[in-house]
Amino acid sequence: MTLEKVDLKKARKTLFTAPPGRFVPVTAPRVSYLMVDGHGDPNRNPEYGRAVKSLYSTAYAAKFACKAKGTDFVVAPLEGLWSASDPESFAARRKDEWDWTMMIMLPDEVDEEMVRAAQAKAREKLGTLPESLRLATLDEGLCLQALHIGSYDDEGSLLASLHHDIMPAGGYDFAGPHHEVYLSDPRKTAPEKLKTILRQPVR
């Protein structure tokens, strides 16, 4: 018998689609994630690569645990929450100032017990895992969201427009960290063709 496979990109389509280069309002529901925290330039800090590898290893272990129980899911794209004491550092791309939480969305069926078992499997494979690796929920509510096509370093002008024009004009204030959803695999996609959802929780 073929298992039904949950694809969160389809089941929660609103969170993975947006018009290119144009911010629109969306309401993000409460969602479960695997999360790992860190700080600094992801291109230079080796902890970033370790965090991402640990997330994927744990997510795939959770997937196989689900299959053993009769369900299955597609491992969702990598996502990241980015924050800094000065929001201008995003538009200016001052990456050494950034705090980050890298994440992979999970179906609601994956609970704490399954994640602990998946962590144990991932630890067998990788040796150690970041201490901050955990199952947590995110409930962002009202957000402004756009699709950026191009290099991550070219996001600055779109974010500057969001911060200086769109949010002030709409009477919005920041209500959470800058959120990115990486729809493309940078190992297989040319920088100018990368697709990234940019999301900003607002109030």
Q: Report the pLDDT value the prediction gives residue 93, as an integer from 0 to 100.
A: 80
Answer for the pair 91, 153: CB distance below 8 angstroms, yes or no: no
What's the whole-number average pLDDT of the chain? Answer: 94
Length of the chain: 203
Q: What is the distance between the alpha carbons of residues 142 and 135, in angstroms, rounded to a whole number? A: 23
Q: What is the pLDDT of residues 20-59, one digit of tens each?
A: 999 999 999 999 999 999 999 998 999 999 999 999 999 9
User: Among 101, 92, 78, 89, which residue's Cα sits nearest to residue 195?
Assistant: 78
Q: What is the distance between the alpha carbons of residues 96 and 110, in angstroms, rounded to a whole number? A: 34
Share of the chain above pLDDT 90, in %: 85
**Residue 1 pLDDT exceeds 60:** no
